[in-house]
Structure 1
Amino acid sequence: MGELFSGPGGLGVGARLASNQHGEIVHQWATDYDEDTCRTYATNIVGDEDAESVVHADIRKLDYEELAKLGDIDGLSFGFPCNDFSLVGERKGFDGEFGPLYTYGIKALERFQPDWFLAENVGGIRADGGSTLRKIFADMVDVGYRIYPHYYKFEEYGVPQSRHRMIVVGIRKDLDVEYKVPSPDVFAQSDVTAGTALSGIPAWAANQEPTRQSQRVIDRLNHIPAGGNAWVADMPEHLRINTRTKLSSIYRRLSSDKPSYTVTGSGGGGTHIYHWSEPRALTNRERARLQTFPDTFVFKGNKESVRKQIGMAVPPKGAKVIFEAILNSFAGVDYPHVEPSLKKYMPQV
């Protein structure tokens, strides 16, 4: 597998976990624009922080022939940056700095012609009535792929976090392989509560540095119940936040008996994720637990860099489900499945 916009390795870990008697997905090459992210990926996925197969580069300047020298690929993954499609922000879409970056995934499909691909982005990409999705899907089909787009709610697939993402699996049209969206029913009995996810973290696990918090923040958190945020009615006057925009994520505390809300790369202005009973922000290791990274996974860089890496990643356990389905599809093995939920945005063939 080759990866563009690889992030710290959520898909890489998921691919490794998915490998079974029906097949194996192994790293061939990966690239990302962030140096710390590349170091994290190389350390954990390849086992060598300086691995040549992990290329630190701005994809807008990257020559794909350099990737080709690193080896042929059967699959391509690209979680193209979501900033301009997210519901949080200015929503510039294709006119923003990040919106056009999906085209580099399309160009890679043209150049490498892999048997399959996996593309990931935020659910908010649908918010313009679907025109963005229709354009992206049409481009994927035009370069030779049958596509299976679905809106995955990862808490329904064993991940202790309400993380909703648009994921497209594509199979090259000349191959007699049919991908099916895996059914979440298989995971109906999974314990996806934050309380369970954050229990028993070993002292040896890396990235457990606490966030420094002022007494004012601690006092504010002590007035917020589990599951609540800064806008509780009985917040003392001197602890209130005076702003017109009342985002629900501001000083929002987890509920121990429910999945976490979405882990993001942000952290300033009260947007850290906060513990349900202790008046503090979560550590990066706790955030990584909510993202289902193993405790042995070590993130490189300073605390803020690690926070961003964790927030941008695909949850490995969620990725595992999709990669298993891809392997089963190529092996001709049937499995419980559902209809792709984003079918209506696909071009009429």
Structure 2
Amino acid sequence: MTKFKLAEFFSGPGGMGYGASISKIKDSSIEHAWATDYDQDSCNTYKRNIKSRDVYCEKIENFFNLVDKKKIILPRFDCFAYGFPCNDFSNVGEQLGFKGKFGPLYSYGVELINRYHPKWFVAENVGGIKSSNEGKSFTKILKDLEEAGKGYDLTVHKYKFEEYGIPQARHRIIIVGIKKELKLKFKVPKPTFKTITSKEALSNIPKNAFNNELTNNSKQVIERLKYIKPGMSAFNSIIPKHLQLNVKGAKISQIYKRLDPNKPSYTVTGSGGGGTHVYHWKENRALTNRERARLQTFPDSFVFEGSKESVRKQIGMAVPVLGAKIVFEAILKTFAGVKYPSID
């Protein structure tokens, strides 16, 4: 039985980590060695739900300094995953790329690879990273990852998770790197094209499920939602003037947008204020955090720590659990020499 020992940067609540923990084929599986994130609630959530030897709640900028001073003694690991912060590469925002606060954080993953030479790694980010800074940011990131350590063969693909049975239109760039000396080639798993609708995903949630408290929507929000049909938003609906949004500039199509019960959800996010909570197709309310977690394919047994707003952010920033599982199991099959349906 082959057990890969996984390390994680920017682990969040554990979407990628939990996906890895349930990934296994006949003779291979993934076991957690350690993880790190700067957000205390995310670290607490990770510790509660994922069996990991150590979870370090530290700013990534301080991490290697603590390792060098031996204040952190890292357990042994041979593979690595990180969804480096995407704020500066997202299509929603200014797309600052490397000029922003978060853009350069990918380099800490490169540093870890340079130091420890894992057999393989997975890096995840938003689809907008390809066009940030006219594509220069992405070119630089790929070059650094390919040349890290002793060199890695990269497979880069934009996954449309709704095509893989995830009940959410979430598009993410995933980079799989395998040591060149191993002479293995990762192939992108073929989409299942099995559509899971919002209605299917949100059915039969137990009344006493964790993180399932209702959001207190204002009377104005409730009144506004009455004029918005399933699949529509505040910007493409006929709404009385006193309920219309007083927003100048760009119109964001997901503001006060109801789900279409017959389609996968639109992208669940972790940032933003009013109007971005994801709204029920029939009931005049925002989704609960448990419903949002369902769209991210977290099991109902997965408990999030922290305030309601903290949990909302954790869920929105996570990688869909079953999406991560698909990628990790394809990696296990690659190393085990097991063929699987792929797009190339």
Which TM class, normalised by the smaller chain length? Answer: over 0.9
Task: Give the superposition deviation at 1:71.
Answer: 1.6
Equivalent residue, structure 2, for 1:171: 178
Root-mean-square deviation (CA), in Å? 1.4
Task: Give the superposition deviation at 1:232.
Answer: 3.6
Change in CA separation of 1:240 and 1:41 when aligned onto 2, cut-off 3 Å: same
Equivalent residue, structure 2, for 1:33: 38
Structure 1: runs of 5+ lacking an equivalent: 340-349
Corresponding residue to 2:327 among 322, 329, 335:
322
Which amino acid counterpart does residue 169 of structure 1 have in structure 2? V
Task: Give the superposition deviation at 1:233.
Answer: 4.6
Equivalent residue, structure 2, for 1:298: 303
Corresponding residue to 1:268 among 273, 276, 279:
273
Which amino acid counterpart does residue 288 of structure 2 have in structure 1? T
Deviation string for 1:18-52 (max 9, x for gaps)? 11213010110000010000000010002xxxx76
Task: Give the superposition deviation at 1:130.
Answer: 2.1
Counterpart-to-counterpart distance in 2, 1:243 and 1:25: 47
Task: Give the superposition deviation at 1:196.
Answer: 0.1
Which amino acid counterpart does residue 244 of structure 2 have in structure 1? R
Equivalent residue, structure 1, for 2:3: none
Counterpart-to-counterpart distance in 2, 1:12 and 1:191: 24
Q: Contact 1:266 / 1:272 at 8 angstroms: preserved in 2?
A: no
Q: Contact 2:163 / 2:195 at 8 angstroms: preserved in 1?
A: no
Task: Give the superposition deviation at 1:319.
Answer: 0.4
Counterpart-to-counterpart distance in 1, 2:119 and 2:246: 54
Task: Give the superposition deviation at 1:67.
Answer: 9.0
Deviation string for 1:193-244 (max 9, x for gaps)? 0000000011232001111111111010000000011124521111111222
Counterpart-to-counterpart distance in 2, 1:97 and 1:247: 23
2:260 aligned with 1:255:
yes
Equivalent residue, structure 2, for 1:158: 165
Q: Contact 1:274 / 1:282 at 8 angstroms: preserved in 2?
A: yes
Task: Give the superposition deviation at 1:309.
Answer: 0.3
2:150 aligned with 1:122:
no
Q: Pairwise mapping of residues 19-168 of structure 1 onto structure 2 (< 5 A)? A: 19-46=24-51, 53-63=54-64, 64-65=67-68, 69-128=73-132, 129-143=134-148, 144-168=151-175
- Give the structure-1-normalised TM-score: 0.92
Q: 4+ residue stretches of structure 1 with deviation over 3 A?
A: 64-68
- Give the structure-2-normalised TM-score: 0.94
Q: Contact 1:22 / 1:327 at 8 angstroms: preserved in 2?
A: no
Number of residue-to-residue matches in the alignment: 332
2:315 aligned with 1:310:
yes
SS in structure 1 at match of 2:181:
coil
Q: Contact 1:229 / 1:252 at 8 angstroms: preserved in 2?
A: yes
SS in structure 2 at match of 1:90:
coil
